[in-house]
């Protein structure tokens, strides 16, 4: 068996989007990923489905594996021919022990590559509005370990030189030693009035920043209960935070929002929330699958020219319909005699991607509004095709039939329970770590409640803001005992995000 290869990858400071392109490529082609505590777990979602994921995180009071055990794990996996990504917070060579791991791999004759990452020493400061260099303040920067006891006699840090030798000092992993660090700096010539800042969970939505001076930052940290993971910044550049603070001013900064859409569709909502400073947590309560029986759909496609109307009620319905249309060696020319109706603007856009012009989109994006507008447009005997989900509401086909139309309701996709990890979400709800839950369909509400299996769902969600995309979804939530705090005025993802913004701006 040939040996594998190990990629020592810097995952960046916390914001998942600060991973490098090359680092992401390594994750995507790995057989095994060995990751640390400060790695954003969203990055693991880019790993191949069959990849082995191993957590080896270390915290100040607990190590999952010792460093020698991690070294041996890397060697063992590579000797089995695996492509291994060693995913480390920040940069692997900035107090990341990447050099030690590379030495072990070299001695074992295993191929390895170093993929640098964005260090928190620079990124966390930047997200707090603090540039580590600025020509009006300083052109020198020192990055120093905060792990070492500043009072030990054989220190590797020359405090007499470092205290005044660089304009900006950044200490990593130093919160436990903060009082001793500040004392050493002042004892060795740094002014007690020098601005200082602490940045905790830098670049993440739960980021916190505390500003003071060398003389009082330790007292402030103790008073605020400020703990690791945090960086310590010392220097005149800290004074720029008041002017340059940008991240913490985002309108949804600090809000952790649960997204219950299917994994394929969650990214649109997640990205919109993230731009506004929120931390989206994806918990897919639904998934989309192929119908158990394609025959009704295939028969409808075979006789597509007989329909006067084709009504699409979701983007999924559009995508799955045209996928099957192409499978049957047909294309949009077979729709030439039909008028097209889309339930909302996103569904219309999905149809327009196929070069189609939609004849009708209701002002209010639900089945009842479609029926109101189609009164007088649908004649008795008109054939209508309704390609949609297996569990869609029966309001539309029943009412159209009542108008005398001949309705073929065919299943183009099935809605199943999603694969969200229930345990961690339950724990976060119980400890108040989730601020908002979003529901974009009745199915997401039903499956969410079933997946949690809570005896008293209303108590579990008592401190959480519940946001629904429209009144139908909100009604389903109410029936299931879920209190709804806000409903989007426009029943779209944009409308939902806008409603959340308005709610918190109040």
So which residues are the catalytic ones? Answer: 36, 58, 173
CB 118 within 8 A of CB 89: no
Alpha helices (H) in 94-247, listed in sequence order: 98-107, 120-127, 159-165, 178-187, 217-224, 241-244
Pick from 418, 36, 461: which is nearest to 261 by CA?
Answer: 418
> How far is residue 89's CA from residue 10's CA, in Å, rounded to a whole number?
6
> How far is residue 319's CA from residue 443's CA, in Å, rounded to a whole number?
19
Neighbours of 377 (CB within 10 A): 14
3-state secondary structure of 410: strand
Alpha helices (H) in 364-465, listed in sequence order: 367-374, 395-402, 422-430, 442-452, 457-460
Q: How many residues does the chain have?
A: 506
> How far is residue 417's CA from residue 285's CA, in Å, rounded to a whole number?
6
CB 203 within 8 A of CB 124: yes
Pick from 235, 279, 49, 259: which is nearest to 137 by CA?
Answer: 235
Pick from 139, 94, 133, 131: which is nearest to 116 by CA?
Answer: 94
> How far is residue 410's CA from residue 401's CA, in Å, rounded to a whole number?
15
- By DSSP bridging, strand 406-417 and strand 286-289 are antiparallel
3-state secondary structure of 17: helix
Structure-token match 């060995």, residue found: 34
> How far is residue 87's CA from residue 33's CA, in Å, rounded to a whole number?
7
User: In the 8-state DSSP scheme, what is residue 229?
Assistant: S
DSSP assignment string, 431-451 = TT---EEEE-SHHHHHHHHHH
> How far is residue 215's CA from residue 211's CA, in Å, rounded to a whole number?
11
């Amino acid at each position: 068996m040939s040996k594998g290869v190990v990629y020592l990858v810097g995952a960046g400071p916390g914001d998942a989007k600060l991973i490098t392109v090359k680092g992401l490529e390594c994750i995507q082609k790995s057989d095994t990923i060995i990751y640390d505590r400060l790695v954003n777990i969203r990055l693991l979602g880019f790993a191949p489905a069959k990849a082995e994921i191993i957590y080896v995180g270390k915290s100040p009071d607990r190590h999952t594996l010792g460093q020698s055990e991690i070294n041996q794990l890397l060697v063992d996996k590579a000797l089995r021919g695996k492509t291994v990504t060693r995913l480390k917070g920040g940069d692997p060579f900035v107090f990341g022990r990447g050099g030690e791991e590379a030495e072990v791999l070299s001695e074992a004759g295993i191929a390895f590559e170093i993929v640098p990452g964005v260090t928190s020493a620079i990124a966390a400061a930047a997200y707090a509005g603090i540039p580590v260099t600025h020509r009006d303040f300083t052109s020198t920067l020192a990055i120093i370990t905060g792990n070492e006891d500043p009072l030990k006699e054989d220190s590797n840090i020359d405090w007499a030189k470092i205290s005044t030798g660089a304009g900006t000092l950044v200490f990593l992993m130093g919160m436990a030693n903060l009082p001793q660090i500040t004392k050493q700096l002042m004892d060795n010539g740094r002014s007690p009035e020098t601005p200082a800042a602490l940045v905790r969970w830098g670049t993440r939505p739960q980021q916190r920043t505390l500003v003071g001076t060398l003389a009082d930052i330790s007292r402030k940290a103790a008073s605020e209960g400020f703990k690791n993971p945090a960086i310590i910044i010392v220097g005149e550049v800290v004074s720029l935070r008041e002017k340059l603070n940008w991240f913490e001013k985002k309108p949804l900064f600090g809000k952790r929002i649960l997204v219950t859409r299917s994994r394929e569709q969650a990214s649109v909502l997640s990205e919109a929330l993230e731009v506004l400073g929120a931390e989206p947590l994806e918990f897919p309560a639904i998934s989309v699958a192929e119908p158990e029986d394609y025959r009704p759909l295939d028969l409808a496609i075979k006789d597509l020219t007989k329909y006067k109307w084709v009504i699409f009620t979701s983007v999924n319905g559009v995508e799955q319909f045209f996928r099957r249309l192409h499978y049957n060696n047909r294309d949009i020319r077979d729709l030439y005699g039909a008028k097209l109706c889309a339930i909302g603007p996103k569904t219309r856009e999905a149809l327009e991607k196929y070069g189609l012009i939609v004849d009708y989109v209701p002002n209010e994006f639900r089945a009842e509004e479609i029926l109101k507008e189609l009164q007088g447009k649908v004649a008795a005997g008109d054939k209508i095709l309704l390609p949609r989900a297996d569990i869609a509401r029966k309001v539309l086909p029943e009412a159209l039939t009542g108008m005398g139309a001949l309705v073929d309701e065919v299943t183009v996709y099935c809605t199943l329970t999603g694969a969200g990890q229930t345990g961690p979400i339950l724990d976060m709800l119980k400890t108040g770590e989730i601020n908002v839950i979003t529901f974009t369909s009745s199915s997401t509400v039903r499956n969410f409640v079933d997946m949690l299996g809570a005896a008293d769902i209303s108590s579990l969600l008592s401190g959480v803001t519940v946001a629904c995309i429209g009144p139908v979804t909100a009604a389903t939530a109410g029936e299931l005992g879920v209190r709804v705090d806000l409903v989007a005025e426009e029943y779209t993802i944009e409308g939902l995000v806008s409603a959340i913004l308005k709610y918190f701006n109040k």
